[in-house]
Amino acid sequence: MTKYSITEFLKQTEQVDKGQGLFELETPRMLEINLTDKIWAKAGSMIAYNGKIKFEREGIFEHGIGKVFKKALTGEGTSLMKATGKGKLYLADAGKKITILHLQNDVIFVNGNDLLAFEPSINWDIKLMRRVAGMMAGGLFNVRCEGTGMIAITTHYEPLTLKVTPENPVITDPNATVAWSGSLQPEFQTDITLKTFFGRGSGESIQMRFEGEGFVVVQPFEEVYMNPNS
């Protein structure tokens, strides 16, 4: 058997059950869900499945009328799909790295573009960052996830977690900010000198400032959010 034979390729790339439970990293950029009931996932993230699984787009009033108004207001791209049934479901999002988090009565905020999947036991709500909505293309929004259960988030390349303490606030670029602990409420600040220095768009002039006790997750990549309503 040669190094580049089809047999060797299949051996190197075949699906392997790792016995990790409901959410399992098949590869660093592919999420396997051992579905037995129902999960929520980012619309369009399904790449393959087997078994009997039914996919439905999020019902317009499924999560309450308040969230419908928020989704219409933000024009955001985190449309959800519900997968129900039994089988193996594989999700991915543009080759981004996937991180699984098991919340245990925790609260975490996740950038709306970076939330890949979550269990129905997780309570969630869309939070629009109104103060920055008029300053960036499409504004910026995040999803507040609370409760006990699994969520999967995505990042471009490897994520970095920075600790926030009262003595050491952390300032980030909104386009590189992925998630932060529920104990933090970021404030927005502008930096005219930074904008002038880079000589680019408004992205570098807007910063998120985290003060208090908690953590913030960033990625080595600046995502540009486009408003589909524009």
Distance CA 172, CA 208 (A): 5
- Length of the chain in terms of residues written: 230
Distance CA 138, CA 229 (A): 8
Q: Which are the contacts of 21, defined by CB distance < 8 A and separation ≥ 6?
A: 34, 150
* Per-residue pLDDT of the chain in tens (230 residues, 90 and over written 9): 578 888 888 888 888 777 668 999 999 999 999 999 999 999 899 999 999 999 988 655 455 545 544 454 444 445 788 999 999 999 999 999 999 999 999 999 999 889 999 999 999 888 776 555 555 544 567 889 999 999 999 999 999 999 999 999 999 988 899 999 999 999 888 776 665 555 455 444 788 999 999 999 999 998 775 444 43
Distance CA 210, CA 218 (A): 12
Whole-model pTM: value is 0.83
In terms of CATH, what superfamily is 19-218?
A: Mitochondrial biogenesis AIM24 (3.60.160.10)
Map out the domains of the chain as residue ranges: 19-218
Distance CA 192, CA 73 (A): 28
Span 93-144, pLDDT tens digits: 999 999 999 999 999 999 988 999 999 999 988 877 655 555 554 456 788 9
